[in-house]
Structure 1
Amino acid sequence: MTDPNSPGALAELLTRKPPRRDTFEGWQHYRTTRGTFVPAPELTIDQWRAMSPRRRAVHDLHRTATHVNLPLQETPMSLKVSRLLNRRISNNALKWNSSTHSGVMINGFGYQGKTETTCEVAAGFEDRWLALNDFLNPGAKPGTRALHSPVAYVQTPVTAKPKSTCEAILSFFGAATKGLTLPQLVQQVAASLDDHGVRALILDDITRLRMHRADDQDVLDLIRAFMSMNVTLVLVGVDIPGSGLLREAIWDPRQRQWVMPPSKHARVHGLEATQTERRFDLVELDPFRYTTPVGIQAFHRHLVGLEQSLRLFNAGPGMLTEAGMPEYLMRRTGGVVGLLTRLIEDGAQEAIDSGRELLDEALLDEIIISLDDPGRDPDAGEIPVIDGLSNGPGTGPVPAGGKRSRNTVFDDGGPLSAAGS
């Protein structure tokens, strides 16, 4: 971000686009530019009024950009995920033996920051790995100029199948997929991961892969095949324990991992099936809880971080943390980080537009959080159902029959979820 008073500031604010992380070029752009956004300077209302009309407009636009690009804050929940994920990727990358690498499953409901937390950890690993190897692929084959990509991030297609998932992985590298069968696609995936020096393969929204029939082995065999490719497989999804992806897995209480038995087939999609068990760490990314002193303190710290990032002229210390605001914000968002961020950023825009320049309950009551997002799959649980919490004081529309469905977002997932937390 340039100086807000420079001639190019307005053009940069209007033309900068978020990177697509599901291509090699997009991932590299994300990795190298994350954290480079410069927020608007903190000015007093008198300093703002002393500006020319054009400079005031540019500064207001910069303030808006600041509010919709709030920094990713570390929470106790994300720290738990980050530590496990970083440890697993880093340790596996240094293994020399041919044993199957343990994978990681990151579970949680929509808007809880699973993707951002995962990508931040993976990008940090790639920074270190590239520096360690002088930005060269240590496994490059002589005479080739293959792209070096220690991390491959793939968005699982909506209503995905094993074949389309393989095609999405190959699309990350720009590889041709037309006319290939599933076994050929899996083999091509294995070759691409090896050629490009991939150490971690992230499959986001993995629960979009449907278990189409009771005896369908395609999805499970695909997971087994990926884990045989000497990469750390990172699966990110909603309600992974209930999706069927772990239906054949067994919980090992000693190692606190899910164990997926070897495939019964001699070959898995054209690859030789080994008898090695596949192991996964399952970790939950939970919402904030307001039921214990530790949980309340963590939520308050998060609100302080949000306060410090806002650029509202009438905002003061304690705007989000004093009186009944913490309880109000918890009721509106259920402690879900993404919904809290959405409420604050929309509220900040209303505060600027209305001239009130602060956030309070009266202003936030006017904000309706719309969860309609064409990029999310409601059937896969990617849009949370928070009944009466995120739709303001009017509690939103009532379905036919006059009763609201019970909110199940924060229900205990049972022993499957508890085992991996």
Structure 2
Amino acid sequence: MADRAPDDSGIVPFLRAGPPPDRTRREGWRQWREQRDLFTPAPKLSLEQYTAMSPRRRALHDLHRTATHMNIGLLETPMSARITKLMRGRLRNNALNFEPGTRDGLMISGGGYLGKTETACAAAAAFEDVWRDLHRQLLPPPTEGTRDLFVPVAYCRTPVRATPKGLCAVILDFFGAPLPKTLNSMIRAVRDSLRDHRTTTLLLDDITRLRLHREDDQDTLDLIRELMDLNVTLVLIGVDIPNSGLVRGGYPDPRTGQWIVPPVSTGKSFNPAAATQTERRFDLVDLDPFDYDTTDGIAAFLDHLAGIEDRLRLFHTWPGMLTEGEMPEYLYRRTHGIVGLLKRLIEDGSTDAIESGTEKITPEQLAAIPIRLGNITDRDPSEIPPIPETTEPGPRTPRRRGRNTVFDDTGRAAEAT
């Protein structure tokens, strides 16, 4: 998907052919990993250069600018950088641990549209790039189409109604393996696939779809913990994991801070020895929105806005369009510091700026643009955050402080009464 400036040959190289890669399939994950950094944004042109183009080239450049605004991506934040550092270290250390036993896992928690999935997938893809390069130097290449195809990272999504069979099915579907009929055969096939493909990392997204009041969900959670014995690092991603029930009965280790999560002891688990399994350990880390109440939080938010501003391709922009004046506070009020909502608002604002010809983003313009997320069909309802109401631009109305009545003498008034 490497891009060039559009020309009159009829080729529009920045457009993608076909649907986006399906990361829940091995080939789709490979395609996304290899192409995730190949998009080239539209060149920065002056208004004079733009008006000198032919009408067709101007239309193609407008299309390229729109594609640039739609593919800004989630820029790194201090919160995501902390998760990336922890995750890369854990994946590397566990992959280099050749002793038998349970591998410590990770739980990435947070609200909706905070970039949990993209942060985890980007860190896993970077680890896979390094791991593949290392194996390419030390080991012979695998044979395409055989069971020993090298797949270091597997990404799956928890089924909407989780069962042990459903979880096994999504894992086997990632590898393109056949689905056996019985549960024991499916579990054996999952173990064989993870071992034969030399998988070291298993990402399970939407893990909070598990509702532990049902026996099927309890059995599925037992199966997830069982996978930790296969020299695989489990990375569980979900919304508000501490309050979801997944760590119910768990407790943080006072020495390491890791969460120790014992197996579910109720229900009719597929594994009769589930209650006696070794306790599983996870690092539970939160991905928070931006904080606008501290100096460091405001500085991080302004740096993020500056990064977005640098990627915009509008003709009437100026340095500080998003970072000066009332704009930063207005954007924070509209999005509550949630990077996904901020991205959607800037995308829609940029589109409106091109279509209307204003070629700039202002609070007055954004006030007429609602943030709509109803067209997202592949997300769990718990992943969609509450949308702040559309607010008019202007400074925040200060909260009126009440009069200090500490020194009021109420005795005479009470006596008169």
Q: Which residue of 2 aligns with 1:193?
A: 194
For the residues of structure 1 that align with 2:28 and 2:294, how far apart are their CA atoms?
41
Q: Number of residue pairs matched? A: 387
How far is 1:18 from its partner?
A: 2.3
1:33-89 deviations in Å (ceiling 9; x for gaps): 111100000001110010011110110000000000004311110011101111111
For the residues of structure 1 that align with 2:72 and 2:44, how far apart are their CA atoms?
15
Q: Confirm or deny: 8 A CA contact 2:215 2:269 kept in the other structure.
A: no
Q: Which runs of 5+ in 2 are unaligned?
A: 394-417
Structure possessing the higher radius of gyration over alpha carbons: 2
Query: Per the alignment, in what secondary structure is the counterpart of residue 201 of structure 1?
Result: strand
Structure-to-structure mapping, 1:128-207, within 5 angstroms: 128-134=130-136, 145-177=147-179, 179-181=181-183, 183-207=184-208
Structure-to-structure mapping, 1:194-343, within 5 angstroms: 194-213=195-214, 217-261=218-262, 269=270, 275-343=277-345
Q: Partner letter of residue 261 of structure 1?
A: P
When residues 393 and 293 of structure 1 are mapped into structure 2, their CA distance, relative to the original with a 3 A threshold, is same
Q: Which residue of 2 aligns with 1:33?
A: 35
Q: Confirm or deny: 8 A CA contact 1:9 1:58 kept in the other structure.
A: no
Q: Which residue of 2 aligns with 1:123?
A: 125
Q: Partner letter of residue 27 of structure 2?
A: E
Q: Partner letter of residue 350 of structure 2?
A: A
Q: Confirm or deny: 8 A CA contact 2:147 2:196 kept in the other structure.
A: no
When residues 216 and 168 of structure 1 are mapped into structure 2, their CA distance, relative to the original with a 3 A threshold, is closer
1:357-408 deviations in Å (ceiling 9; x for gaps): 0000111112111121111111xx20011442xx4559xxxxxxxxxxxxxx
| RMSD of aligned alpha carbons | 2.5
Query: Per the alignment, in what secondary structure is the counterpart of residue 124 of structure 1?
Result: helix
Q: Confirm or deny: 8 A CA contact 2:210 2:217 kept in the other structure.
A: no
Query: Per the alignment, in what secondary structure is the counterpart of residue 133 of structure 1?
Result: helix
Query: Per the alignment, in what secondary structure is the counterpart of residue 308 of structure 2?
Result: helix
How far is 1:245 from its partner?
A: 1.1
For the residues of structure 2 that align with 1:19 and 1:133, how far apart are their CA atoms?
25
Q: Which residue of 2 aligns with 1:90?
A: 92
Q: Which residue of 2 aligns with 1:400?
A: none
Q: Which residue of 1 aligns with 2:386?
A: 385
**Residue 374 of structure 1, aligned match among 377, 380, 385:** 377
TM-score, normalization: structure 2? 0.87
For the residues of structure 2 that align with 1:184 and 1:22, how far apart are their CA atoms?
22
When residues 85 and 236 of structure 1 are mapped into structure 2, their CA distance, relative to the original with a 3 A threshold, is same
Greater mean alpha carbon deviation, residues 283-292 or residues 70-79: 70-79
Query: Per the alignment, in what secondary structure is the counterpart of residue 53 of structure 2?
Result: coil
Query: Per the alignment, in what secondary structure is the counterpart of residue 10 of structure 1?
Result: coil
Structure-to-structure mapping, 1:54-69, within 5 angstroms: 54-69=56-71
Q: Confirm or deny: 8 A CA contact 1:136 1:148 kept in the other structure.
A: no
For the residues of structure 1 that align with 2:278 and 2:213, how far apart are their CA atoms?
26
How far is 1:165 from its partner?
A: 1.8
Q: Confirm or deny: 8 A CA contact 1:287 1:335 kept in the other structure.
A: yes
For the residues of structure 1 that align with 2:48 and 2:218, how far apart are their CA atoms?
67
**Residue 49 of structure 2, aligned match among 47, 50, 60:** 47
For the residues of structure 1 that align with 2:364 and 2:388, how far apart are their CA atoms?
20
% same residue: 53
1:160-207 deviations in Å (ceiling 9; x for gaps): 3332122111100111225232x3322221111111110100001111
1:109-134 deviations in Å (ceiling 9; x for gaps): 11000011101100000000010011
Query: Per the alignment, in what secondary structure is the counterpart of residue 300 of structure 1?
Result: helix
Q: Confirm or deny: 8 A CA contact 2:6 2:13 kept in the other structure.
A: no
**Residue 76 of structure 1, aligned match among 74, 78, 103:** 78
